[in-house]
Copies of this chain bind each other. A is one copy, B any other.
Amino acid sequence: MTDIAALSGVSYQTVSRVVNGMPDVADTTRERLLKIMSEVGYRPNVTARQLVSQRSSVVGVVTFGTGLYGPTQIMVNLEQSVKELGWSVMFCGIAEESVNEIRRAVNELCSHQVAGVLIHLPIQIDLQHLKDISRNLPLVAIDSDFSFKAHSVFVNQEQGSRLVTRHLIALRHVRIAYLRAPLIWRAARLRFRGFLKELESARLKPGPIIEADWSARGGFEATKELISAKPGEFTALVSANDQMALGAIRAIEEAEIPIPARISVAGFDDIPEAAYLRPPLTTVRQDFASLGKLSVQCLLDQLDNPGRAPRNRTIRPTLIERASTTFAPK
C-alpha cells in the first residue's frame, strides 16, 4: 500500500480510501490510483486489515463425519452460502469424536480470528466444557445438540421419520421393521424415535429392530441376518438412510422376496440416485441448501445484535413417495 502511495504521490491513507471505496477522494485521483493498482497487481492484505480493525470476514466451520452424505452435503452448502455473502470460509474437520478434538478445532479457528463458527456435530458428546470456549464467540449449531443454549438450526429428523412411518401405516402395514444407525448419532436417535412415536400413536408395536453403520454394506449384512433369523415377521422396513436401504433391498432380493409386493422399503435422505434404484426408493428429503442459507443468516444476525437470546430455526423434511413402498400384502 505504501508502495502504491509512493508510486502515485499520495499518502497511504488515500490509497486505503480508494481500496475501500470510501468517499472524500477526488474522482481523478481515484481513477489514477485504481489504474496503478491494477497495473502493479496490488492485493490488499486481509490479514493486516483484520488485525487492526478487529473485524473479520471469515467464518469457521467445524464438521465431523465427512464421507457420509449428510455431513458432506452440509459442508458444501455452507461454503456456497458463505460465498454468496462475499465472505470466506475456513474448514476444520475433527478426527475423533472427543471433546478435546472439538475444543482444538474451535481454538484453531479462533486463533485465525474468524468472525464466528458454524458447528455441525452429528454425534452425542457431552458439551458442557464447550460453554466457556464459546463465550462471546458467535456460534451456530447445525443440527446438533448442545447442552447449553446456543443459536441453532435444525432439520426436524423426528418429523421426517414420522412422515415415512405414517405413510407405511396408511398403506396398512402392521409389522414394520426398522434398520437404525448407531444411536450415538443424533440423526439416528431422532429418526428412530420418530419411528417409535408414530407407531405408538397408531397403537402399533414395532417390528424387529436391527442396526448398521450407515453404509450399504452394513445395511446388507444386517438385513440378511434378519431375514434368516426371523423370516416373514415384517412387511415393511424403514431404514435410517438411503445407503442402508440400498443394502437392505439387495439382501431382500437375494432372498427372493419381491419388493414392494411382499416387503416395502423406505429410506431417508433422498440421495440423487434414490430415484433410479430398483425399485425407486421412497424416502425423505432434507433441504440442505436452505439449511446452509439459514445457518449463515443466523450467524449474521448474531453478529449484528450480539446480546440476543439464542433462537432456533427448524427445517421440515418432506416425504418423497416412490415405488419401493406399497400396500401391505394380505
Interface residues of A (CB under 8 A from B): 41, 43-48, 50-51, 58, 66-67, 72, 75-76, 79-80, 83, 88-93, 95, 107-108, 110-113, 132, 215-217, 219-220, 243, 246-247, 249-250, 253, 272-273, 275-278
Copies held by the complex: 2
Interface residues of A: mostly helix, strand, loop or mixed? Answer: helix
Query: What are the 7 closest A-B residue pairs judged by CB atoms, nearest first?
Result: A216-B276, A66-B76, A46-B111, A47-B113, A250-B276, A216-B273, A46-B112
A258 to chain B, nearest CB (A): 13
- CB-contact partner of A111 in B44, B66, B112, under 8 A: B44
A146 to chain B, nearest CB (A): 19
- Quick check: A43 and B111 within 8 Å, CB to CB? yes
How far, in angstroms, from A58 to B273 measured CA to CA in the complex?
A: 36
A227 to chain B, nearest CB (A): 15
How far, in angstroms, from A41 to B216 measured CA to CA in the complex?
A: 44
- Quick check: A58 and B112 within 8 Å, CB to CB? yes
- CB-contact partner of A272 in B47, B66, B216, under 8 A: B216
Q: List, in ascending order, chain B residues with CB within 8 A of A83's CB.
A: 92-93, 95
Q: List, in ascending order, chain B residues with CB within 8 A of A80's CB.
A: 66, 93
